[in-house]
Amino acid sequence: MTKFAPNLASRPEPITDNTLRQFQGYRIKRAFMVIQSDLTRVLNDLDLRMLTYSTLLMIVENPGLRQSQLSDALKIERPNLVVIIDELESRGLILRERMEHDRRAYALLPTLEGNRLAQKAVDAVRIHEARLTAGISDEELAQLNNILARIERNGASA
């Protein structure tokens, strides 16, 4: 085993990811994965997944919206939203109400329990976020969000 044939060694040296780490996308992904992992655990205590959580919050904030509007806002394909709405409805968190002026569409409304669960989720997620952003000042977070928004805009105009 010479130093000229390192490929055949068992590679006790630590594995590096410097090539990937040079990229913004990789670094943002790593932070996002950590957040997502912790958030998934927090939401699990409320029997919510990321999709049911964000769907419920959007219905609470925009009562009466249609499924098509919601799938646009959440960037979920309409067929995939159906089963999420089904789940929230069967749990008594939201209602589907036929619209009078267009009987093809449903107005989505939160129930009292839906509103309560949404509030509990928001509280829990605030605590989760406070933990993950501990030691980071409001100014730094504002700067972070400013840059993230600019990246998002750069991507949107592509």
Partner DNA sequence: TATTGTTATACTCTATAACTATA
Partner DNA sequence: TATAGTTATAGAGTATAACAATA
- Residues of span 63-92 touching a second copy by CB under 8 A: 63-66, 69-70, 72-73, 75
Length of the chain: 158
CB of 111 to a second copy, least distance (A): 12
Map residues 99-118 to x or -, x wherever contact with a second copy holds by CB under 8 A.
xxxx--x-x-x--------x
> CA nearest 71: which of 80, 62, 60?
80
Name the binder of 116 from a second copy, DNA, none, CB < 5-8 A by kind.
none
147: how many CB neighbours lie within 10 A of its CB? 11
Inter-CA distances, 46 with 34, 39, 80, 123, Å: 19, 11, 22, 11
CB of 138 to DNA, least distance (A): 30
Name the binder of 103 from DNA, a second copy, none, CB < 5-8 A by kind.
DNA
